[in-house]
Amino acid sequence: MRVRKTAGLVGAGGVNRSFLARMPALLERLGPVKGVSYQVSRRIANGLRAGVGVRSYRALQECDLIWIAVPEQMLDSITQQLAAEIHLDGKMVVLFDALRDSLWPSPLRTAGARLASLNCVPASEERAFAAEGHPAVMTELRRLLAMDARKLLPLHPAAKPLYLSGVYLGAHLLLPWIAGAVESLRAAGFPRAEAMRTAQALATRALRAYRKAGDKAWSRPAAEQLHRAIEQDMEAIRLTDPRLAILYSTGAGCLHRFFRR
């Protein structure tokens, strides 16, 4: 049976290399593809091996679902153009891998579109996706993802900043402390490979402890031991590498403020 092309795409900025290019259930239904120019529209469609490049946003008028996959700095201008050229009232629109959420005061909301946002959960091998937005769009996203054996993790309303906070804390903001642990061990005499192995083992043990005990994984005796170590060793660490001293003292302060009850 021939699949009705019910989805459209507004794309730019390497969408062909994104996880959208590996979503068969969506690509099978993809019709018009609009880029910043007709040449880009065709290039995106050819790269995805799905849909057809179009010249105008008006070609998306018949689509039930419209994906917007553009860099964050282009969202304002793209949504203004889209809302100016087609009737969006009641249409489902998904912001693909965007920092903004469905509550963002955009021309799409003003025009009556039913909005949602979808982000791939890092380190999930593209098997889990976080989404928030209009219930009807969430239902459609859950259906599309289930067709490809993927999981939808719904976010609470207005909670996308917390989701992004969790991602950035786990993926990026930990890096200075991981690097600090490795460099401290290397400065103490460990070979790099052994320093990396030890830091990884310690981080894994800490994560397991938190999974098992939550906040109780950070105990008062551990806090007191850390405080004594900082008082005793800070000057020696500062003389070796001031950056490590800053990480050490700052990290201890963060732990104390976050876990105290």
Do 61 and 41 share a structural domain? yes
> What confidence score (pLDDT) does residue 260 get?
67
Whether residue 2 is contained in a domain is answered as: no
* CA 217 – CA 205 distance, rounded (Å): 11
Whether residue 100 is contained in a domain is answered as: yes
The mean pLDDT value for 132-153 works out to: 95
pLDDT higher than threshold 80 for residue 53: yes
Instruction: Using the 3D structure, point to which of 169, 204, 236 is the last residue of a domain.
Output: 169
Radius of gyration over every alpha carbon of the chain, rounded to an integer in angstroms: 24
Do 145 and 19 share a structural domain? yes
Do 89 and 75 share a structural domain? yes
pLDDT higher than threshold 80 for residue 31: yes
The token pair that represents 208 in the structure block: 């397991």
> What confidence score (pLDDT) does residue 5 get?
64
Boundaries of domain holding 160: 7-169
The mean pLDDT value for 190-197 works out to: 94
What residues contact residue 188 under an 8 Å CB cut-off, 6+ apart?
none
Do 221 and 149 share a structural domain? no
Do 111 and 28 share a structural domain? yes
> What confidence score (pLDDT) does residue 224 get?
72
- SS3 sequence, the chain? CCCCCCEEEEECCCHHHCHHHHCHHHHCCEEEEECCCHHHHHHHHHHHCCCEECCCHHHHCCCCEEEEECCHHHHHHHHHHHHHHCCCCCCEEEEECCCCCCCCCCHHHHCCCEEEEEEECCCCCCCEEEEEECHHHHHHHHHHHHHCCCEEEECCCCCHHHHHHHHHHHHHHCHHHHHHHHHHHHHHCCCHHHHHHHHHHHHHHHHHHHHHHHHHHCCHHHHHHHHHHHHHHHHHHHHHCHHHHHHHHHHHHHHHHHHCC
Q: List the end-to-end C-alpha distance of the chain, in Å, as a whole number.
A: 61
Q: Give whichever of 87-96, 210-219, 230-239 has the largest mean pLDDT.
A: 87-96
pLDDT tens per residue, range 79-98: 999 999 999 999 999 999 99
**Average pLDDT over the chain, rounded to an integer:** 89
> What confidence score (pLDDT) does residue 116 get?
97
If pLDDT is split at 50, 70 and 90, which confidence band does 126 have? very high
Q: What is the domain-level CATH number for residue 46?
A: 3.40.50.720
Amino acid at 18: S
Q: Is 216 or 19 the better-scoring residue by pLDDT?
A: 19
Whether residue 75 is contained in a domain is answered as: yes
If pLDDT is split at 50, 70 and 90, which confidence band does 61 have? very high
The mean pLDDT value for 161-185 works out to: 88
Do 184 and 83 share a structural domain? no
What residues contact residue 120 under an 8 Å CB cut-off, 6+ apart?
19, 97, 126, 128, 129, 130
The token pair that represents 75 in the structure block: 């969202």
pLDDT higher than threshold 80 for residue 233: no
The mean pLDDT value for 215-241 works out to: 75
Whether residue 139 is contained in a domain is answered as: yes
220-240 vs 242-259: helix axis angle to the nearest 10? 160
Q: Which of 9-18, 58-67, 71-80 has the lowest mean pLDDT?
A: 9-18
Do 251 and 187 share a structural domain? yes
Domain count, the chain: 2
The mean pLDDT value for 150-158 works out to: 95
Do 26 and 126 share a structural domain? yes
* Percent of the chain surpassing pLDDT 70: 96
Do 117 and 145 share a structural domain? yes
Whether residue 1 is contained in a domain is answered as: no
Do 57 and 110 share a structural domain? yes
Do 157 and 182 share a structural domain? no
The token pair that represents 92 in the structure block: 């489902």
Q: Which of 112-126, 142-156, 176-190 has the lowest mean pLDDT?
A: 176-190
